[in-house]
Structure 1
Amino acid sequence: MDRQRLHARLVERFEADRDVARIVAREATDLADRGVYEADFDESLGVEIVITNLADAPDGSTLAERWNWWLGALELSHGAYQRFRVRPDVV
Structure 2
Amino acid sequence: MNGDPTDGFDVEAVVAGLERFGGSALERRTVGRCVSDLADSGRYAEDAGIELTPDHVLDQLADAPDGGPADRWNWWIGSLEAAYGGYTAFQVRRFG
Same fold (TM over 0.5): yes
- Does residue 31 (structure 1) correspond to residue 38 (structure 2)? The answer is yes
Contact 2:26–2:95 (CA under 8 A) maintained in structure 1:
no
How many Å apart are 1:41 and its aligned residue? 1.7
The CA distance in 2 between the partners of 1:73 and 1:20, in whole Å, is 20
Can you list the C-alpha shifts for 1:36-78, whole angstroms capped at 9, x where unaligned?
101012232110111111111113x121111101000000000
- The residue correspondences of 1:11-26 to structure 2 (distance < 5 A) are 11=19, 13-26=20-33
| Structure 1 SS opposite 2:51 | coil
1:64 matched residue in structure 2: 70
Q: Distance in 2 between matches of 1:71 and 1:15?
A: 19
Give the Cα separation in 1 of the matches to 2:11 and 2:68.
Answer: 19
| Corresponding residue of 1:51 | 58
Structure 1 residue runs of 4 or more that deviate by more than 4 Å after TM superposition: none
Counterpart CA distance in 2 for 1:65 and 1:15 is 11
RMSD: 1.2
- For structure 1, the residue ranges without an aligned partner over 5 or more in a row are none
Percent identical pairs in the alignment equals 42
- Give the alignment's TM-score, normalised by structure 1: 0.88
Unaligned runs of 5+ in 2: 1-8
**Residues 36 and 80, structure 1, Cα contact 8 Å, conserved in 2:** no
| Kept in 2: contact 1:3–1:29 (CA 8 A) | yes
What is aligned with 1:5? Answer: 13
CA contact (8 A) 1:32 1:44 kept: no
